[in-house]
């Protein structure tokens, strides 16, 4: 297998590389008479579900409308790696027959959903956006895919990500970086880059993302959508290519709080084949979302309001004021457990190295150049003592974090400390020879994951939703988090805020004529390979 050089990486960044072609696995399912319907693709998941139940639209119509829109807009945002058009239309037709017979599996019946491309799909390649896995085809579905299919969701395709989910920017991918639908010159956030871009650009009704340091919440924030990282173990991660398994979570990303509540209800559940799965009572999160919030006591931990860009600070301050009027009030005295020392702690856990060491022995170090640097850092040997201490530290933090919520119900803070960065500038940093190289840059104040990463360590639920827009029209996210298994309260506060505002109704101003700006300057000379 040919090793990718920095020159190869530059080429990939400048143009999307789609091995075999995005649509090559399926014939074009659209006839000339089936025009694009923005009215259908702009529906929320709940609205689409209601129309299917009322029999005013079919799953096939929704799927065809999305496929038509993807053909026009995905070349701009580069969210899909593999489009499962034929399979999706076959699923939709079967679900339409069930609907005609009055059989509806769940509120997701007939709803086209996208999957982050580190989530296994039997018979369809799952690449982790890496040359290591560019032809990898799993033989079994991930547990979350099994649950979605059982609930009647249509699997529309696999979407882009930061290679092996090892980044908060979302721009390092074998298939080229995804672009932010609000401004194609900006990063989406990572690592669930394609999930964020596809939902924001109306290329699916919802998507699954994974979150290790903020990979659901950062792209959801920067793409202006809603995303929730559930309690550790509430949603199975079996069949998902790990980033750092002890911190990995899987959760829904969609346009509204209602949509993620409906998805989470279907995704949650114990999996005795997943060592991280936990048993918890079955919940209807859509119902819990509607509980009153007037008695909620909120905390705004001051440490999460450091290092904010001025516009982010101003927008979040206005959102906090809204929340204070909806609840019993907000206190800044809400100390959360301190984080362990960054890089040494994450490396010592050893989960990433444990997955990649046998892979490297089999296939070599054939990563994208930036990830190659990450791997050299990750594979630095940790002692058995270091690993044991790291796992003990993680377990004790998770055991004691709920004590921070004795006097408050939930905490609120900015999801990210900054607005999304330039894609060109981010790629230049990725392509540079940074020393020392840090694979897990979660707690670097310049990282998009600076505010989000602690909640993966805590293992508690955390949600982001749009709370305002910058002067240049970029979305800003508000994060809401609570103790273990408080998803219902988190969703309820988010829903109350959403009802009191209209930020979630804004859409990116993409048109078929929107130009796609180049990422690499024509006269730029890429650096030679140094490995």
Tens digit of each residue's pLDDT (9 = 90 or more) over 375-434: 988 888 889 999 999 999 999 999 999 999 999 999 999 999 999 999 999 999 888 865
Tens digit of each residue's pLDDT (9 = 90 or more) over 363-379: 899 999 999 988 988 88
Position 107 pLDDT exceeds 90? yes
> If DSSP codes are grouped into helix, strand and coil, which group holds residue 465?
strand
- 385 labelled catalytic: no
What is the maximum span of the chain, computed from C-alpha positions, in angstroms? 66
Q: Cβ(155)–Cβ(187) under 8 Å? A: no
Position 32 pLDDT exceeds 70? no
Catalytic residue (choose from 173, 195, 215, 277) = 215
Position 436 pLDDT exceeds 70? no
pLDDT at 434: 59
- 215 labelled catalytic: yes
Position 122 pLDDT exceeds 90? yes
Q: Cβ(37)–Cβ(62) under 8 Å? A: no
Q: Cβ(177)–Cβ(423) under 8 Å? A: yes
**Among 49-63, 237-251, 509-523, whose mean pLDDT is lowest?**
509-523
How far apart, in whole angstroms, are the C-alpha atoms of residue 345 and residue 442?
12
**Among 18-32, 53-67, 147-161, 304-318, whose mean pLDDT is lowest?**
18-32
Q: What single string gives the DSSP state of each residue in 301-344?
A: -GGGGSS--HHHHHHHHHHHHHHHHHSSEEES----PPPPPHHH
Residue 470 corresponds to which tokens in the numbers above? Answer: 């910058």
Position 337 pLDDT exceeds 50? yes
Position 271 pLDDT exceeds 80? yes
Query: In which band, very low, low, confident or very high, does the pLDDT at 242 lie, cut at 50, 70 and 90?
Result: very high
Sorted by where each starts, the structural domains of the chain and their CATH numbers stand as 6-27+46-505 (3.90.1300.10)
Name the residue among 206, 255, 199, 211 with its Cα closest to residue 235. Answer: 211
Position 106 pLDDT exceeds 60? yes
Spatial CB neighbours of 417, under 8 Å, sequence gap ≥ 6: 306, 307, 308, 309, 312, 445, 450, 451
pLDDT at 423: 96
**Model-level pTM?**
0.93
Query: In which band, very low, low, confident or very high, does the pLDDT at 519 lie, cut at 50, 70 and 90?
Result: confident
Catalytic residue (choose from 191, 192, 220, 246) = 191
Catalytic residue (choose from 64, 116, 147, 424) = 116
Position 278 pLDDT exceeds 80? yes
Tens digit of each residue's pLDDT (9 = 90 or more) over 351-365: 999 999 999 999 899
**Among 45-54, 69-78, 365-374, 397-406, whose mean pLDDT is lowest?**
365-374
pLDDT at 344: 80
- 116 labelled catalytic: yes
């Amino acid at each position: 297998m040919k090793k990718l050089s920095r020159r190869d990486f530059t080429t990939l960044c400048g143009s999307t590389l789609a091995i075999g072609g995005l649509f090559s696995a399926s014939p074009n399912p659209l006839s000339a008479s089936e025009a694009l319907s923005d009215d259908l693709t702009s529906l929320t998941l709940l609205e689409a579900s209601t129309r299917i139940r009322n029999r005013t639209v079919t799953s096939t119509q929704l799927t065809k409308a999305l496929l038509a829109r993807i053909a026009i807009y995905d070349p701009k945002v580069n969210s899909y790696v593999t489009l499962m058009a034929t399979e999706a239309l076959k699923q939709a037709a079967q679900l339409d027959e069930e609907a005609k017979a009055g059989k509806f599996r769940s509120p997701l019946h007939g709803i086209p959903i996208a999957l982050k491309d580190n989530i296994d799909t039997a018979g369809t390649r799952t690449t982790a956006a890496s040359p290591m896995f560019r032809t990898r085809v799993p033989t079994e579905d991930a547990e979350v895919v099994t649950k979605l299919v059982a609930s009647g969701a249509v699997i529309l395709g696999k979407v882009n990500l930061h290679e092996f989910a090892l980044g908060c920017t979302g721009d390092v991918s074998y298939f080229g970086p995804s672009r932010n639908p609000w401004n194609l010159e900006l990063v989406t956030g990572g690592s669930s880059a394609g999930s964020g871009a596809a939902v924001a650009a109306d290329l699916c009704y919802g998507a699954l993302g994974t979150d290790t340091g903020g990979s659901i919440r950062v792209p959801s924030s920067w793409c202006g959508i809603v995303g929730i990282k559930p309690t550790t173990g509430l949603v199975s991660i079996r069949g998902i290519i790990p980033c750092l398994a002890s911190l990995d979570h899987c959760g829904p990303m969609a346009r509204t709080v209602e949509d993620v509540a409906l998805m989470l209800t279907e995704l949650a559940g114990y999996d005795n084949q997943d060592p991280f799965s936990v048993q918890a009572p079955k919940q209807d999160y859509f119902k819990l979302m509607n509980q009153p919030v007037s008695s909620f006591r909120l905390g705004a931990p001051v440490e999460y309001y450091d290092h904010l860009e001025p516009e982010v600070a101003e927008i979040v301050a206005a959102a906090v004021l809204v929340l204070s009027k909806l609840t019993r009030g907000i206190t800044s005295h809400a100390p959360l457990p301190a984080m362990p020392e960054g890089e040494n702690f994450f490396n010592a856990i050893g989960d990433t190295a444990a997955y990649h060491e046998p892979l490297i022995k089999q296939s070599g170090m054939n990563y994208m150049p930036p990830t190659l640097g990450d791997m050299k850092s990750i594979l630095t040997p940790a002692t058995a003592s270091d690993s044991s201490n790291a796992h003990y530290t993680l377990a004790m933090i998770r055991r004691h974090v709920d004590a921070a919520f004795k006097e408050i119900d939930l905490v609120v803070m900015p999801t990210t400390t900054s607005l999304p960065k330039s894609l060109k500038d981010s790629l230049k940093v990725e392509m540079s020879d940074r020393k020392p190289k840090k694979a897990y840059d979660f707690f670097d104040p310049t990282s998009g994951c600076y505010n989000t990463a602690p909640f993966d360590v805590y293992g508690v639920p955390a949600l982001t939703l749009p709370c305002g827009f910058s002067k240049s029209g970029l979305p800003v996210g508000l994060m809401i988090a609570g103790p273990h298994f408080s998803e219902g309260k988190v969703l309820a506060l988010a829903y109350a805020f959403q009802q009191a505002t209209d930020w979630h109704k804004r859409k990116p101003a993409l048109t078929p004529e929107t130009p796609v700006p180049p990422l690499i300057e024509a006269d730029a000379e890429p650096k030679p390979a140094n490995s």
